[in-house]
Amino acid sequence: MKKKKLWIVFFWITLFIIISVLVNLTKQKQQEVELKYSHFKQHIKDGRISKVLVAQDSIKGEFRDIDGALKNFKTAPMNDPNLIKDMEYHKVVEFSSAKESGLLIPLLLHCGPIILTVLFCFWMMRVMTGGNKQAMSFGRTKAKLAGNNAAKKVTFRDVAGCNEAKEELEEIIEFLKDPAKFQKLGGKIPKGVLLVGPPGTGKTLLAKAVAGEANVPFFSSSGSEFVEMFVGVGASRVRDLFEQGRKSAPCLLFIDEIDAVGKRRFAGASGGHEEREQTLNQLLVEMDGFDTKEGVILIAATNRPDVLDSALLRPGRFDRQVVVPRPTLKDREEILGVHVRKIKLDGDVGLDVIAKRTPGFVGADLASLVNEAALLAARNNQQTVNMKNMEESIERIISGPQRKSLLMSDKEKKTTAYHEAGHALVAKLLPLTTDPVHKITILPRGHALGYMVQLPEDKHSYSKTELLDKIAVLLGGHAAEELVFLELTTGAESDISRATKIATRMVTELGMSDKLGPIALQRPYEDYISSKDAGHSEKTSEIIDEEIKSVICGAKNKASELLKDNLAVLNKIADYLLERESLNSEDLDKITKGEDLTPLPEKPSAATENKKEVVKEKEVIKKQIVGGKVLSENIQF
């Protein structure tokens, strides 16, 4: 290895020297002015020659032109015996004769380009035979081989939750450990396993855990690494990936985000011969060609299974699809337990409480939550992470960091208080169909001037009534502003957007429209399709718009009626919000029952503060009396 490095250094140094010499000689040649001998003699008489170098085959030197600029010249030597006398007579500053320069410079001038060409060809030959593989490695796979370090090995112990997915993958692990167990009965292990689930649910971690449990090599790559600008590079990388897998069998090949290369093919303007489609074709051939007896299993992950090509999902390629869903309440508690292993926790931290407060969070969200809490504790110079840090971390992830520097006018605070009170009151008045309210606040956080936190349960389906009431809660703030101030603000922008999305899905996807009936007019992930291309007429589009408007307006009217009937409670919640800035679920329960909240401890007035300062100053002055001698003049007690 050292010899190779020395050879490369020697090669580049030699090349640099040759190029430098050639460049300098070329520059000198280009800067020399060819003079006739008669002109040269005339310049000597005019006193414009300053330097002369007489050689056997040429005369060179320096002269000043008409503009006074100093230039190099060259002229052919003549049999002139009076040349030296003329130069002495006209006082040429410097003249001499030159010795033979040897063959090196002429050799470099004539053979330099040939030498450079030979060196370059020799270097290219070494590159192509493996001397420098980086320059010619376009077709090599970029898959990374996971290390065999036992300390860094990922196992199922590091993957909490998703028990069903782990059970499905246990069969893969058993095959990699003992292939003969399945082969002696004539069974065939699946060639490919597709992990499907939302982003952040731990699909990549699960694939690493399979390799760690089976104790086999693990090659990981991304789908985007196969798609390049150069034609044929992606297909070449696919071939190289499977070739490396065969050499390391038994092993696991993992392709993350396979939808980047495995999207559904179509005969578009390019005729279906795009680079990505060629790469997909090569992947299909490789999956169909390699034998399961070789011990090579392909695992891929995606959160968009709907866009994958059907040929990729047929039996014999990705035989098995393993769903990695969002974690349940119990799963979230287990995931938090994994992430807090290296965190110093305070005794008041309850992982079960945090799990209840984080519905919908995936593994990546929970990891970020724990890390953010640790950073907050370190920022406050704490020795341990307490529950307050965890709660602040949850709110930072949901709503963003608190904006303490944002100054709000009294009118804005009042409007925000009624807006959030409207959300909370509508949710409290619809307890059977809406999620319980955990907290409301008018402290700005992220892009919101205030927000309400609800604690939804882990649900997998919703009724039409539940969705309508969810829209009513979202529009509760909008209705409260209109009811109290008789005008609207921009604060309901996010609420209206979310309500519109729910209503659109109800009408176009979920069959919850009386006029349209149970017809799916728009599939998921196709929000960008215009009505003209969506497969239905303009008349149907008009009905869709009318039904969406009907759903939203009906939910808003429901929220307005509830708030109008409970206007006194709405005013009370808003007043308490202006006084305390935040209310929890217990506070809301008391207010809705007609009870008063415990008064806040009074802040000391300015007069009281001044009185304390005077007392403190007297104490300081008293300490200045030492041994009966007063150190300060004009002291009165």
**585: how many CB neighbours lie within 10 A of its CB?**
16
Identity of the amino acid at 154: V
Task: Please identify which of the residues 420, 481, 482, 547 carries the catalytic annotation.
Answer: 420
β-strand partners of 251: 296
Tallying the residues shown for the chain, one arrives at 637
Q: Known catalytic residue: 420?
A: yes
Q: Among residues 218, 253, 34, 19, which one has the least CA distance to residue 116? A: 19
Pair of tokens at residue 242:
């499977």
Pair of tokens at residue 398:
């949901």
Pair of tokens at residue 619:
């104490």
Pair of tokens at residue 615:
């007392």
Residues 329 and 165: their CA atoms lie apart, in Å, by: 17
| Side-by-side strand order, sheet with 451-454 | 451-454, 437-441, 582-584
Pair of tokens at residue 371:
């890390």
* CB proximity list for 371: less than 8 A, separation 6 or greater: 339
436-470 residues labelled b (16+ CB within 10 A) or e (exposed): ebebbbbbbbeebbbbbbbeeeeeeeeeeebbbbb
Which burial class, exposed, middle or buried, applies to 320 when counting CB atoms under 10 A from its CB (0-12, 13-18, 19+)?
middle
What's the 3-state SS for 296-317? EEEEEEECCHHHECHHHHCCCC
Spell out where 197-356 has E strands.
Answer: 218-222, 251-256, 296-302, 318-323
Q: Interhelix angle for 493-508 vs 476-485, to 10°?
A: 130
Helix (H) or strand (E) holding 429: helix 410-429
* CA 350 centroid distance within chain: 31
Cα angle, residue 126 at apex, residues 124 and 127 outer, rounded to 5°: 60
Following DSSP, what letter does each residue of 212-232 receive, concatenated?
A: HHHT--EEEEEGGGG--SSTT
**150: how many CB neighbours lie within 10 A of its CB?**
8
Pair of tokens at residue 296:
């090579």
* CA 488 centroid distance within chain: 37
194-231 residues labelled b (16+ CB within 10 A) or e (exposed): bbbbeebbbbbbbbbbbbbbbebbbbbbbbebbbbeee
* CA 95 centroid distance within chain: 72
DSSP for residue 263: B
Q: Strands 451-454 and 629-630: what pairing? A: unpaired
Helix (H) or strand (E) holding 144: strand 144-145
* CB proximity list for 627: less than 8 A, separation 6 or greater: none
Q: Strands 318-323 and 192-196: what pairing? A: parallel
- Tell me which residues are annotated as active site: 420
